[in-house]
């Protein structure tokens, strides 16, 4: 089992041109690999995304002929690295799209797939309403992927607000949690770092979360600030607001140490909830 390695996050601002996004993210991935990263994570919808009439429209293809899948499986094999493709738009039979993340192993094989479970259907006020479920089909399965013996719990963006998902992943053996995102600037400024650090602290896990930055086609603004966080909640690297990469050393012994200090994963207890508060009028 690999206990020590370098992880990296790619941070981009996706254009409307999938080939341009592949070129940019390939260059940044090569840079991360040249700096010694063995696990390289890319953001949600890094290959293209726009918001039209409050609905999310990612670049989408069937998995079998998705140009990003082909390009990045080949790249993982060439560079001998694991790639976490934060998410791609994958067309589904009913016309909606799966927001699907992939772990590609260092042989260029698809090692795991995860369909985003929680849909970003929100009203942030001042006309900032988003209805992800109008165009995106939700998933219904939690996924833990293997990175040379290290267990990585997969999630995407809005999932980060649902702590029970990460508890399930950690209790299922995950020592690394990943939440690739295209987090909005408005919510990112208020909540991004707090949520990422909380998931790390609650579960004694590393958290690796690449995030898009800047203004996307259609006017949506992404927060950036890709982060790598240790199991004690310390931010090891922060991507700020521009294009680039971040990297940090991962030592899974730190997961064991954090969980020995505060063994909360062993302290969950069942409880009754027979007298809920009355509904507000």
- The strand pairing partners of 4, in sequence order, are 251
Catalytic residue among 6, 38, 44, 211: 44
Tokens 């833990």 label which residue?
144
Active site (annotated) includes residue 211 = no
Catalytic residue among 9, 116, 132, 185: 116
Active site (annotated) includes residue 157 = yes
d(CA 9, CA 83) in angstroms, rounded, equals 10
Number of Cβ within a 10 Å radius of residue 97:
20
d(CA 180, CA 44) in angstroms, rounded, equals 5
> Which residues, 6+ apart, have CB-to-CB distance to 224 below 8 Å?
11, 188, 211, 212, 213, 214, 239, 240, 241, 242
For the beta sheet containing 227-229, the strands, ordered from the edge strand earlier in sequence to the opposite edge, are 143-147, 150-154, 176-178, 206-209, 227-229, 235-238
Q: Which of 112, 123, 186, 126 is nearest to 156 (CA)?
A: 112
d(CA 10, CA 211) in angstroms, rounded, equals 8
Catalytic residue among 9, 25, 157, 222: 157
Q: Is residue 173 classed as helix, strand or coil in its secondary structure?
A: coil
Q: Tokens representing 71?
A: 């390009």
Structural element, H or E, at residue 16: none
Q: Tokens representing 104?
A: 């590609």
CB 96 within 8 A of CB 20: no
d(CA 269, CA 249) in angstroms, rounded, equals 34
- Point out the residues that are catalytic: 44, 116, 157
């Amino acid at each position: 089992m690999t206990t020590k390695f370098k992880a990296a996050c790619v941070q981009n601002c996706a254009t409307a041109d999938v080939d341009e996004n592949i070129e940019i993210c390939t260059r940044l991935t090569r840079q991360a690999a040249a700096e010694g990263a063995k696990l390289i994570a890319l953001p949600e919808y890094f290959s293209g995304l726009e918001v039209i009439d409050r609905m999310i429209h990612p670049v989408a293809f069937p998995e079998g002929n998705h140009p990003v899948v082909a390009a990045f499986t080949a790249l993982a094999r060439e560079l001998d690295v694991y790639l976490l493709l934060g998410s791609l738009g994958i067309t589904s039979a009913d016309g909606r799209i799966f927001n699907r993340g992939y772990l590609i192993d260092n042989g260029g094989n698809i090692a795991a797939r995860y369909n985003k479970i929680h849909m970003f259907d929100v009203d942030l006020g001042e006309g900032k309403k988003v209805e992800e479920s109008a165009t995106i089909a939700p998933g219904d399965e939690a996924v833990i992927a293997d990175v040379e013996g290290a267990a990585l719990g997969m999630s995407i963006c809005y999932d980060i607000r649902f702590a029970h998902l990460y508890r399930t992943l950690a209790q299922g053996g995950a020592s690394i949690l990943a939440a690739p995102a295209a987090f909005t600037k408005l919510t990112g400024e208020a909540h991004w770092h707090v949520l990422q650090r909380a998931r790390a602290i609650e579960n004694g896990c590393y958290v690796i979360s690449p995030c898009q930055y800047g203004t996307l086609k259609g006017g949506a603004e992404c927060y950036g600030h890709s982060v790598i966080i240790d199991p004690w909640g310390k931010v090891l690297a922060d991507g700020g607001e521009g294009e680039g990469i971040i990297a940090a050393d991962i030592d899974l012994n730190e997961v064991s140490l954090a969980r020995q200090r505060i063994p909360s994963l062993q302290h969950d207890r069942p409880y009754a909830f027979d007298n809920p508060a009355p509904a507000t009028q």
